[in-house]
Structure 1
Amino acid sequence: MPPRPRRPLTLRDVSEASGVSEMTVSRVLRNRGDVSQATRDRVLAASKKLGYVPNKIAGALASQRVNLVAVIIPSMSNMVFPEVMTGISQVLEDGPLQPVVGITHYKPEREEAVLFEMLSWRPSGVIIAGLEHSEAARAMLMNAGIPIVEIMDTDGEPVDSVVGISHRRAGIEMAREIVQAGYRRIGFLGTKMPLDHRARKRFEGFTGALAKAGVEMTDHEFYSGGSSLLKGREMTAAILQRSPDLDFLYYSNDMIAAGGLLHCLDNGIEVPGKLGLAGFNGIELLDGINPRLATMDACRREIGTKAAQIIAQCTQTGASSAGERVELTPRLQIGDTLRRG
């Protein structure tokens, strides 16, 4: 994807879009002055549609950027994004740029608010998780005038640069491995997916590959909230009580998969003979568990490293866009919970 020229939006852009003076736009956005409600609504609507973000850097600094990189991620409560942050920090720690983190909790409205606040301080770049954003958030990203790197997922069209893996392909590869190993009665356990787009894409790839092999998903169990060993135990107990003849369980992440493995060990369920298990992410924290969990390494640290390198390079060259597409290949780790076909 070739780099495309971009520039930050100005008060004049909002003025032209709303049909009022720049002074009136300024008053509305600073919540000052005597402005009618109708005019205020028109200005705010135009501002949101354009993706305009006010500049909080005052006076002589107004034309400059600060040495901050906005990193916007959904969560720090599991081991996925700390690994990404490690990669980002290792690249930036010896240079002038410093990462500043915002958490969205997988909520589009929260992502909008975090992005708006961070862009108002005119960072040198943005690293943001995922490709799916609200119209307002996407407009802000499109018109920020700085390099944007969307991370974790390559199944879609990025605003600027993207670094990640294909989650659909990850789901497909895991399904093929499970079917090749001879498992046929398969259950899925994972997060509720309207807002977890990457889990949804893995699920779509997984079920599509099963269907192509003539295998239907037998049962599934969904949950909301954070991932934990306890959650994995509870979900595994529930799905096995409902469908005791399942011979494989595929989990949307390693943490709940490890909880499922502990449930099996505590209840004398033979793994992988009677019941196979697999997770996703390749979390190093679980390397000490015996038997070793089958999983797929999602290249988390590499994603953070490459994203930070793109931002740093753009900053050095003064480029407002890089337009890079970096798709990494997740690595399947058979472990001890998936018998070999």
Structure 2
Amino acid sequence: MKRRSPAVRPKQSRRAGHGAVTLSDVATAAGVAPITVSRALNTPDTVSEALRERIGAAVAALGYVPNRMAGALASARTRVVPVIVPSLSNVVFVEVIAGIQETVEAAGYQMLLGSTDYDLAREAALVATLLGWAPPGVLLAGLRHLPRTVELLKTAAVPVVEFMEYGPRCIDMNVGLSHVRAGAAMAAHLRACGYRRLGFVGARMRDDYRARQRYDGMNRHCIAAGDTTVTLFETLSCEAANDSDQEVGWCALPEVLAAQPRIEALFFANDEMAVGAMLRARRDGIAVPDRVAIAGFNGLPVSGLMTPGLTTITSPRRAIGQRAGAMLLARINGDLSQRLRIDVGFTLEPRAST
């Protein structure tokens, strides 16, 4: 009787009490050397597709779980990459995370996600904790951190990529866009449309400093023009910890118009707030853009579905994640030739709301 392959009947091929399935067991089942299995699991691109499939079938059949800590002890590094963002519920960061994930997983690494809720002290605590996993590198959102965070990352001596914004100073590597220039671009657009009394509407801007940078860019542009004013609307009575951005925008519109009846155009900190304001305008019979023009930021799909269409600035979020992941992997692999700072830019999309 022909003997069945151990890759087909893995559980029965191991005697009770012999412990977990090992990498050598997988190699035997797949008919390859252990080093080939290691390469297939850790650096898939170095192994042919046929071998990856055969080894993958053996891994699945045997129920093999790689011992990442064993590899870490041997190399002093795990294959887990921490990714720290301000929010896991905001679709903007979800898309960036997706770009990072597809890039690092293709190279045999896994993400370990952390959320700061826009709290820099929490970010410092997360960095301290996640560095304890001996990661080969770290990805984190933004360029503004507490001194302790910067010190921890520099002392760890691992590659670091800061993403979402582009600026003159970074810990190691940086990929993102200039939020100051984005604010200036929106101001230029609104002025070109003929508006001279502008407003910027934001919430939690003390924490969401990138929104503050957009306001700063908008304000500087208008000051330089000399014929346009910008009013910052930051503290909204409707804002609560559990309010969605759409709810904040919904509440903000009548408050802004009551506080500044002559306002002509409003640039909201993000598309969701702008959508909330537009929905409120429709309910209350406030003509957009005839009574007040409305614009947003991020380029979410919903912006193009509004009536009228919402003017917005689109950031290449998934591409930012992909570039950040690729930069980190290149450095991990010893490639020192890459650019350290990448400005991915943005696209202003004028629509009927302005």
Calculate the TM-score normalised by the size of structure 1. Answer: 0.77
Q: Which residue of 1 aligns with 2:305?
A: 288
Q: Flag as ranges the 4+ runs of structure 1 deviating above 4 A.
A: 57-60, 223-227, 319-323
Q: Is the 8 A contact 2:303 2:311 kept in 1?
A: no
- Write out aligned runs for 1:110-121 (5 A): 110-121=122-133
CA distance in 1, matches of 2:81, 2:232: 43
State the Cα deviation string for residues 22-46 of structure 1 (Å, max 9, x = none): xxxxxxxxxxxxxxxxxxxxxxxxx
How far does residue 320 in structure 1 lie from its aligned partner after superposition? 8.8
Decide which of 240, 244, 250 is 2:261's aligned counterpart.
Answer: 244
Decide which of 294, 312, 327 is 2:343's aligned counterpart.
Answer: 327
Decide which of 97, 101, 119 is 1:107's aligned counterpart.
Answer: 119
CA distance in 1, matches of 2:104, 2:199: 42
- Write out aligned runs for 1:113-132 (5 A): 113-132=125-144
Q: Is the 8 A contact 1:277 1:337 kept in 2?
A: yes
How far does residue 230 in structure 1 lie from its aligned partner after superposition? 1.2
How far does residue 268 in structure 1 lie from its aligned partner after superposition? 1.5
Q: Which residue of 1 aligns with 2:280?
A: 263
Deviates more, 1:171-180 or 1:235-244: 235-244
Is residue 222 of structure 1 aligned with residue 254 of structure 2?
A: no
Unaligned runs of 5+ in 2: 1-68
Query: Structure 2: which amino acid aligns with 1:93?
Result: E
How far does residue 296 in structure 1 lie from its aligned partner after superposition? 0.2
CA distance in 2, matches of 1:179, 1:122: 51
**Structure 2 SS opposite 1:143:** helix
Q: Number of aligned residue pairs: give it.
A: 282
Decide which of 290, 294, 301 is 2:318's aligned counterpart.
Answer: 301
- Write out aligned runs for 1:164-175 (5 A): 164-175=176-187
Decide which of 77, 86, 90 is 1:74's aligned counterpart.
Answer: 86
State the Cα deviation string for residues 71-107 of structure 1 (Å, max 9, x = none): 0001122211001011112212322111111001111
Q: Which residue of 2 aligns with 1:232?
A: 249
- Write out aligned runs for 1:48-59 (5 A): none
Larger radius of gyration: 2
**Structure 2 SS opposite 1:93:** helix
State the Cα deviation string for residues 289-322 of structure 1 (Å, max 9, x = none): 222111101221111010011122223x246996
Q: 1:261 to 1:60 in 2, by over 3 A?
A: closer
CA distance in 2, matches of 1:126, 1:94: 17
CA distance in 2, matches of 1:137, 1:195: 16
Q: Which residue of 1 aligns with 2:353?
A: 337
CA distance in 1, matches of 2:231, 2:166: 29
- Write out aligned runs for 1:79-228 (5 A): 79-214=91-226, 215-218=228-231, 220-223=233-236, 225=241, 227-228=244-245
Q: Is the 8 A contact 2:180 2:216 kept in 1?
A: yes
Deviates more, 1:178-187 or 1:164-173: 178-187
User: Aligned Cα RMSD in Å?
Assistant: 2.2
Q: Is the 8 A contact 1:125 1:311 kept in 2?
A: yes
Q: 1:160 to 1:60 in 2, by over 3 A?
A: closer
Calculate the TM-score normalised by the size of structure 2. Answer: 0.75
Unaligned runs of 5+ in 1: 1-56
State the Cα deviation string for residues 123-166 of structure 1 (Å, max 9, x = none): 12111011111111000111222110000111240010000001
CA distance in 2, matches of 1:206, 1:286: 21
Deviates more, 1:319-328 or 1:252-261: 319-328
CA distance in 1, matches of 2:154, 2:95: 27
Q: Is the 8 A contact 2:72 2:134 kept in 1?
A: no
State the Cα deviation string for residues 200-239 of structure 1 (Å, max 9, x = none): 1111111111111121224524356464211110011211
Q: 1:263 to 1:135 in 2, by over 3 A?
A: same
Q: 1:60 to 1:171 in 2, by over 3 A?
A: closer
Aligned-pair identity (%): 36
**Structure 2 SS opposite 1:191:** coil
Query: Structure 1: which amino acid aligns with 2:273?
Result: I
Q: 1:230 to 1:136 in 2, by over 3 A?
A: same
How far does residue 287 in structure 1 lie from its aligned partner after superposition? 3.2
